[in-house]
Amino acid sequence: MIKSTLNNVSISCICAAVPDNQRSVKDDWKGEEGDIQKVIKNTGVHSRYVTDINTCTSDLCFEAAQTIIKEKNIDPLEIDGLIFVTQTPDTFLPATSCALHGRLGLSKNCATFDVNLGCSGYVYGLWIASTFISSGSLKKVLVLSGDTITKLCDESDRSTWPLFGDAGSATLVEHDDNAEPLHFVIATDGNGADKLEVKNGAFRNPGTPNLFMSGSDIFTFTIREVPPMIKEVLKLSKCTKDDVDFFVFHQANAFILNYLSKKMKLDNDKVLVSLDRFGNTSSASIPLTVVANKEKFSTGKKAVFSGFGVGFSWGAVAFDSSKVEICSLQKVSR
Amino acid sequence: MNTQTFLNEIEEIIEVDKNSLNGTEVLKDLEDWDSLALMGFIAMVDTNMDVTLEAEKINACVTVNDLVVLVADYLDK
Cα dist. A186→A120, A126, A152, A225, A231 in Å?
A: 9, 11, 27, 11, 13
Could you tell me where the DSSP H helices lie in A117-253?
121-134, 215-236
A313-320 and A302-309 as β-strands: parallel, antiparallel, unpaired? antiparallel
Is A38 in Cβ contact with B55 (below 8 Å)?
Answer: no
What are the contacts of B42-50 at 24+ separation with CB within 8 A? B42/A216, B42/A219, B42/A220, B42/A223, B43/A219, B43/A223, B43/A255, B43/A259, B44/B9, B44/B10, B44/B13, B45/B71, B45/B74, B46/A223, B46/A263, B47/A263, B48/B1, B48/B9, B49/B1, B49/B74
pTM of the model: 0.96
Is B58 in Cβ contact with A215 (below 8 Å)?
Answer: no
Residue B68, helix vs strand vs coil = helix
A119 is an active site residue: yes
Q: Which chain B residue's Cα is nearest to A264?
A: B47
pLDDT at B29 over 80: yes
Task: Select from B17, B20, B55, B48 the least CA-distant residue to B34.
Answer: B55
Active-site residue (options: A15, A183, A253, A280) = A280
Interface probe with A: pick from B15, B27, B36, B70, most Cβ of A within 10 Å: B36
Q: Count of residues for chain A?
A: 334
Q: Which residues of A touch B43 (CB under 8 A)?
A: 219, 223, 255, 259
Q: What is the pLDDT of residue A122?
A: 98
pLDDT at B66 over 90: yes
User: What is the distance in angstroms between the Cα of A223 and the nearest Cα belonging to chain B?
Assistant: 8
Is A214 in Cβ contact with B53 (below 8 Å)?
Answer: no
Phi-psi sector, A251: left (phi>0), alpha (psi -120 to 50), beta? beta
d(CA A272, CA A247): 6
Q: Which of B52, B53, B55 sits opposite A214 (nearest CB)?
A: B55
Strand partners, A332: A19
| B29 shares contact with chain A (CB less than 8 Å) | no
Is B56 in Cβ contact with A223 (below 8 Å)?
Answer: no
Is B42 in Cβ contact with A263 (below 8 Å)?
Answer: no
What are the contacts of B54-62 at 24+ separation with CB within 8 A? B54/A217, B54/A220, B55/A214, B55/A216, B55/A217, B55/A219, B55/A220, B56/A217, B58/A216, B59/A216, B61/B27, B62/B26, B62/B27, B62/B28
> Would you say A84 and A58 are in contact if contact means Cβ atoms under 8 Å apart?
yes
Q: Which residues of A touch B47 (CB under 8 A)?
A: 263
Extended beta strands in chain A, E state: 2-6, 9-19, 22-24, 47-49, 81-85, 111-115, 140-148, 166-175, 182-188, 196-198, 211-213, 246-249, 302-309, 313-320, 325-326, 330-332
Q: Which of A38, A215, A224 sits opposite B39 (nearest CB)?
A: A215
| B46 shares contact with chain A (CB less than 8 Å) | yes
d(CA B5, CA B13): 12
User: What is the distance in angstroms between the Cα of B2 and the nearest Cα belonging to chain A?
Assistant: 22
What are the contacts of B31-35 at 24+ separation with CB within 8 A? B35/A159, B35/A214, B35/A215, B35/A216
CB atoms within 10 A of CB A83: 24
A46 is an active site residue: no
Q: Which residues of A touch B46 (CB under 8 A)?
A: 223, 263
> Would you say A83 and A143 are in contact if contact means Cβ atoms under 8 Å apart?
yes
ipTM: 0.92
Q: In chain A, which stretches have pLDDT less than 70?
A: none
> Would you say A150 and A282 are in contact if contact means Cβ atoms under 8 Å apart?
no
CB atoms within 10 A of CB A100: 23
Give me the phi and psi of B23, to 5 degrees please. Answer: 105, -20
Q: What is the pLDDT of residue A290?
A: 98
Active-site residue (options: A15, A250, A253, A327) = A250
Task: Select from A182, A184, A195 the least CA-distant residue to A118.
Answer: A195
Interface contacts A/B by beta carbons within 8 Å: 43
| B24 shares contact with chain A (CB less than 8 Å) | no
User: What is the distance in angstroms between the Cα of A222 and the nearest Cα belonging to chain B?
Assistant: 10
Longest dimension (CA), chain A: 58
**DSSP H or E run through A259:** helix A254-263
> Would you say A93 and A66 are in contact if contact means Cβ atoms under 8 Å apart?
no
> Would you say B15 and B33 are in contact if contact means Cβ atoms under 8 Å apart?
no
Interface probe with B: pick from A157, A220, A263, most Cβ of B within 10 Å: A220
Q: Which chain A residue's Cα is nearest to B47?
A: A263
pLDDT at B36 over 90: no
User: What is the distance in angstroms between the Cα of A214 and the nearest Cα belonging to chain B?
Assistant: 8
